[in-house]
Amino acid sequence: MELIQSFSVDHTLIVPGIFTSRVDYLGEYFVTTYDIRLKRPNREPVIDVAAMHSLEHIIATYLRNDPDWKDEVIYWGPMGCLTGFYLILKGNRASKDIYELILKAFKSVSSVEEVPGTTPQNCGYYRMHNLEMAKWYAKEFASYLEENADNDAIFEYPKTERLVTDDGQHFFDS
């Protein structure tokens, strides 16, 4: 089986940031998947599940209501590894081009008084939220983005170089 693109990122080198994960052309327009990474994989504790859930609700609501971006947003959701989120947007923009959007989205969490969509009718597990922890993670990430705005490492994925044999097999060193 072919290794999927997101597994070609060297997770031992990645830092928190805003990365272009993949760009797809869907016939009419481009769609770009961004990796919004809040934690260093395998080196920092992952994001608390209830806080992650709250951040998903809050930031999805923010993005889908932003007058400049709402028509571009296709998806916002958590990574299975709980180190960040995926954002899928129409278009083909560099990671740096969405920096302000992501910064504003995470800063907006501080003013939220109630997590949107937390009723049994709106959410599959409406009791699993933690607004205060979500605010803490959002503030930590927004501060990190501001402190590192001029650091290209927060916008460029480290890639794993893999030896590929003549017949297309990937070689993984154990």
What does the pLDDT read at residue 3?
A: 66
What does the pLDDT read at residue 58?
A: 98
| Tens digit of each residue's pLDDT, the chain (174 residues) | 776 666 667 788 899 999 999 999 998 999 999 999 999 999 999 999 999 999 999 999 999 999 999 999 999 999 999 999 999 999 999 999 999 999 999 999 999 999 999 999 999 999 999 999 999 999 999 999 999 999 999 999 876 555 566 666 555 443
What is the pTM for the complete model shown?
0.88
Tokens of 57: 């609700």
Tokens of 73: 């947003």
**Residue 114 burial (C-beta neighbours within 10 Å; 0-12, 13-18, 19+):** exposed
What does the pLDDT read at residue 172?
A: 47
What does the pLDDT read at residue 63?
A: 98
Which residue has tokens 């992650």?
52
Residue 153 near residue 17 (C-beta atoms within 8 A):
yes
Helical H segments across 17-80, by residue range = 49-65
Q: Say how many C-beta atoms besides its own lie within 10 A of residue 26's C-beta.
A: 8
Residues 142, 110, 39, 2: what is their CA dihedral angle, to the nearest 10 degrees?
Answer: -90
What does the pLDDT read at residue 162?
A: 56
Which residue has tokens 């969509």?
117
- Look at the alpha carbons of 119, 123, 129, 132 in this order and tell me if their dihedral is positive or negative: negative
